Amino acid sequence: MNLLPAVAVLVFTLASVACVTQVLRLPFSQGLRPRARTHRNVLRRPNALKIPVRSPGPLPDPPPTPTPKDVKLVNFNNKFYYGPITIGTPGQEFNVAFGTDTPSTWIPTVHSPPENLAHHHCRRYDNTSSSTYRANGQEFSLVHTLGLVNGYLSRDSVTIGDITAKNQIFGEAVLLPDGLQDDILTDGIIGLGKRDYTENDHLTVFDNMVSQGLLPDSVFSFYLNRFDTADPESVLTLGGTNPSYYTGKFTFADIVAPHRWQFRMDGVQVSELYGIFSPRPFQAVVDSGTSMIVGPMEITDHLNENLGGKPLPGWPKMYEFDCDVVGTLPDVEFVVNGETLSVSSKDYILKLQGEGQTHCYSAILGRNMHDEEAPVWILGTPFMRAYYTQFDAGNNRVGFAKAKHTKLELELFG
C-alpha cells in the first residue's frame, strides 16, 4: 500500500469505510436511567400492590427527567470517529461520523441511480418503510472535501443513543462524490455544527433534541480516545459532560460566530523551544470531523521545521518526523482565554503503518483560511484527543478540560 495517498486522505476526510454488513451494535452506557422512569415502571406494574387508591383514576405519568446520555463511538485509525444512529420507525441503522463544523445531517437514499456510489452503500434510507417519514423534497447540495453531495431533504425521527429527535430534517443523498469510495466505513454525517438560523430555519439534530425537551442541558461533549492504545472507547455525551473522561477545570471560550463553534485564540507557542511563535490573535474552530490541526501555512511551516520535521516531497505543507525522536518532542501550546492548552506529540504526531514500516507525520497542517477578523485555525481530532471538549449552546461557549486517558495507556507510553 502506498502511504502517501493515505496521508492525503487523512486531511478533512469524514466519510466512509468499506461496507461492513453489520451496523455497529454498541451497548449504550448503563446506569444513567432517569429516576422518573423507574418510578413510572413501578406505577405501571399491574396490581403490584393492592393499596386502596382514593383518587378517581390512575396517577398521570410524571414527565421523565432527562439525564445526559453517553453514546460510544469507534475510532478508525485516529482518522475519524463514527457511531451508530437510526432513522425512521422502525429504526433503519446507519454508521455516521459526527462533525461539529457542519450543521447538516445526511445519509444515502435508496432513490439513487445505479451508476452512483450512493447506490452501492449497503445501508440506504428507505422512506417507504418508515411510518414517521414526512416528505419535504427541497433539494440540497453541500461541499464535501472530495466533491459535492447532492440530494433532497426529508423529515423523520433520528435516534442517537436512545434519544429520538422527531421531525428531523435531513438530507437523502442521491449523489456522492466518487472520491468517497476508497474508504467506506460510514454512511453519512450527523451535523453537530451551529446553524445560523437567520439563514435557515431547519434545526440541527442537537437543537431539535434541546427544543423537544430531551436533554437536561443544551450541551454535548466529546471524549476522543487514542487509536491502538488501552483506551477502550470514545464517547459523545448528549445533554452534559461526563466527569469520568476529564480531569481538572474547564477553560471556556465564548463563541464569536453565529454559524460555527468559533472563538478567539490568543496564540500558538512552544515554550520549551523558541517561545512564542505567534503572539497575535487568531480565530479557531473545534471540529470533531477534521483529522488534523490546520493553521496558517506560514506558522505551521515554521512550527514543523523548528520541531525537526522534514517537508514531505510532493505533499507541500505536510511534514514527516523520525519516529525515534517523536517521544522527545516538546508540547505545542494553544493559548485560550489566558490558559495554555498543551498538546503532546502523542496527539500531534500521527503514526501510520505501511510496508512493514511505521511512518510519523505531523498532524499540524498548513492551509490559509481567513475570517473578517483574523486567520482561522481548525482544531480537529488531534487537539480533541488531548482536550475533552464541551459544546455549550446554552451559554454560547466551548470548554476544554484535559482528557483522562486510561492508566494502562500511561504505562504503555511512559
Ligand X SMILES: *[C@@H]1O[C@H](CO)[C@@H](O)[C@H](O)[C@H]1NC(C)=O
The residues, any chain, with a CB within 8 Å of residue 78's CB and separated by 6 or more, are 226, 227, 291, 350, 381, 382, 385
The residues with which 353 forms a beta bridge, in sequence order, are 358
The number of C-alpha atoms within 13 Å of 356 and in the hemisphere containing its C-beta is: 0
Q: Which stretch binds ligand X (CB under 6 A): 127-135, 242-250, 309-317, 374-382?
A: 127-135
Is the CB of residue 223 less than 8 Å from the CB of residue 384? Answer: no
Task: Decide whether 90 or 327 has the Cβ nearer to ligand X.
Answer: 90
* The C-alpha cell that represents 327 in the structure block: 517521544
Rounded-to-integer distance, Cα 191 and Cα 209, Å = 13
Q: Smallest distance from the beta carbon of 144 to ligand X, in angstroms?
A: 22
Number of residues that bind ligand X (CB under 6 A): 4
Task: Decide whether 169 or 329 has the Cβ nearer to ligand X.
Answer: 169
Q: Smallest distance from the beta carbon of 227 to ligand X, in angstroms?
A: 39
**Which position's Cβ is nearest ligand X?**
127
Element (H, E) at 154: strand 147-160
Q: Smallest distance from the beta carbon of 135 to ligand X, in angstroms?
A: 6
Q: Check the CA dihedral 385-238-102-74 and report its sign.
A: positive
Q: Check the CA dihedral 242-244-245-247 and report its sign.
A: positive
Q: Smallest distance from the beta carbon of 113 to ligand X, in angstroms?
A: 13
- Judged by CB under 6 A, does residue 78 bind ligand X? no
Task: Decide whether 47 or 128 has the Cβ nearer to ligand X.
Answer: 128
Task: Decide whether 22 or 128 has the Cβ nearer to ligand X.
Answer: 128
Task: Decide whether 153 or 257 has the Cβ nearer to ligand X.
Answer: 153
Task: Decide whether 110 or 230 has the Cβ nearer to ligand X.
Answer: 110
Per-residue contact flags (x/-) with ligand X for residues 361 to 400, judged by CB under 6 A: ----------------------------------------
Per-residue contact flags (x/-) with ligand X for residues 101 to 120, judged by CB under 6 A: ----------x---------
Is the CB of residue 110 less than 8 Å from the CB of residue 96? Answer: no
Task: Decide whether 135 or 410 has the Cβ nearer to ligand X.
Answer: 135
Task: Decide whether 130 or 283 has the Cβ nearer to ligand X.
Answer: 130
Task: Decide whether 111 or 264 has the Cβ nearer to ligand X.
Answer: 111
Q: Smallest distance from the beta carbon of 89 to ligand X, in angstroms?
A: 13
At 165 the three-state DSSP class reads strand
- Judged by CB under 6 A, does residue 128 bind ligand X? yes
Report the first-to-last Cα separation within the chain, whole angstroms: 31
Helix intervals (H) in 227-340: 297-307
Q: Smallest distance from the beta carbon of 19 to ligand X, in angstroms?
A: 23
Q: Smallest distance from the beta carbon of 139 to ligand X, in angstroms?
A: 11
Task: Decide whether 104 or 112 has the Cβ nearer to ligand X.
Answer: 112
Q: Smallest distance from the beta carbon of 169 to ligand X, in angstroms?
A: 14
Q: Smallest distance from the beta carbon of 110 to ligand X, in angstroms?
A: 9
Task: Decide whether 125 or 321 has the Cβ nearer to ligand X.
Answer: 125
At 346 the three-state DSSP class reads helix
Interface with ligand X (CB under 6 A), residue from 104, 127, 186, 381: 127
> Environment class of residue 58 by beta-carbon count within 10 Å: exposed (0-12), middle (13-18) or buried (19+)?
exposed
Q: Smallest distance from the beta carbon of 66 to ligand X, in angstroms?
A: 31
Interface with ligand X (CB under 6 A), residue from 20, 135, 143, 325: 135
Place of cell 502511504: 3
- Judged by CB under 6 A, does residue 18 bind ligand X? no
Element (H, E) at 42: helix 35-44
At 307 the three-state DSSP class reads helix
Task: Classify residue 213 as left (phi > 0), alpha (psi -120 to 50) or beta.
Answer: left
Rounded-to-integer distance, Cα 296 and Cα 67, Å = 40
Residues 383-400: b if buried by 16+ CB within 10 A, e if exposed? bbbbbbbbbbbeeebbbb
Binding site for ligand X (CB under 6 A): 111, 127-128, 135
